[in-house]
Amino acid sequence: MQWFGRRESSNVEDRRGLSTGGMVTGGGVIGVIIYLIYSFLGGREVDPSQIPSLPGTTNQRELTETEKKADDERASFVKVVLAETEDVWNKLFAEQGQQYQEPTLVMFRDQVESACGYASAASGPFYCPGDGKLYIDLSFYQEMQDKLNAPGDFAMAYVIAHEVGHHIQNLNGTARKVNQIRQQSSEAEANRYSVMMELQADFLAGVWAHYEQKMKNILDKGDIEEALNAANAIGDDRLQEQSTGRVVPDAFTHGTSAQRVYWFKKGFETGDISQGNTFKELGR
């Protein structure tokens, strides 16, 4: 992606330099309780792994000059991608006579406090519907490259666009409706709805990539492959196999690798929001 020198979004809270040590001692237990309540209500969105880590368990250390430089470059990249999503979604909302409310992106290091409770770098990037913000620890970039085998700048762009997709589900009421249904459903059924939400966020990321290409023409050859590879690499089946050595379909919350690839591709190829009804097979 030819991102260098492009507009960086100003809707960014840079909390990378903040030590969370003080908050952790006072708010630890309450933080975890809030977090659990929020998770229970299904109001929490964490990608791609849902494993919480308790506050105060990570050691913060100073970055070296080289690490800091790399981190700052990633920060610039993330700000550019966020700005690109703003351009596309502002346009698409305006075409429907609506105004897009741009989300805020919080960059953090190691751990962060959100309206959805505490999160650590281990949770991966997530969207918190409670405060309408995206949260990202830039080390996830490295993790995608090293552990998930999903390298490339556009792999990261896809992840950000996916979280923005959850913001759109929040704005258009889909998230609220689905949460209501989930609360009246069995656990397996509720999980299926979560998967459909995730796949729709992938679809919306694909729609963004479609317009990004059409309006800006700044994608490099291989960018879409990077996104598809990332979608494939962070499907729940892959993640579960990696962590447990077996696949447990009922516990899926993001969709299989094939499903994620399918929906991102559909969004990218059609650019048609009306084709993103991932809930169809559930009879809704």
Transcribe 189-221 into DSSP letters.
Answer: HHHHHHHHHHHHHHHHHHHHHHHIIIII--PPT
Scanning residues 193 to 212, which ones bind Zn ion (CB under 5 A)? Answer: 198, 201
Residue, CB closest to Zn ion: 47
Question: Which H or E element spans position 25?
Answer: helix 21-40
Least distance (Å) between residue 201 CB and Zn ion: 5
Least distance (Å) between residue 182 CB and Zn ion: 15
Per CB under 5 A, the segment of 23-31, 41-49, 69-77, 103-111 that binds Zn ion is 41-49
Least distance (Å) between residue 68 CB and Zn ion: 29
Least distance (Å) between residue 27 CB and Zn ion: 26
Per CB under 5 A, the segment of 25-33, 47-55, 67-75, 236-244 that binds Zn ion is 47-55
Residue 24 or 264: the one with the smaller Cβ distance to Zn ion is 264
Residue 138 or 197: the one with the smaller Cβ distance to Zn ion is 197
CB 236 within 8 A of CB 252: yes
Least distance (Å) between residue 47 CB and Zn ion: 4
SS3 (DSSP) at 173: coil
SS3 (DSSP) at 184: coil
Rounded to whole angstroms, the Cα distance separating 198 from 249 reads: 15
* CA distances from residue 208 to 89, 139, 149, 159 in whole angstroms, order as listed: 8, 24, 23, 12
Rounded to whole angstroms, the Cα distance separating 159 from 241 reads: 21
Per CB under 5 A, the segment of 43-51, 53-61, 180-188, 224-232 that binds Zn ion is 43-51
Is 47 near Zn ion (CB under 5 A)?
Answer: yes
Which residues form the interface with Zn ion (CB under 5 A)?
47, 198, 201
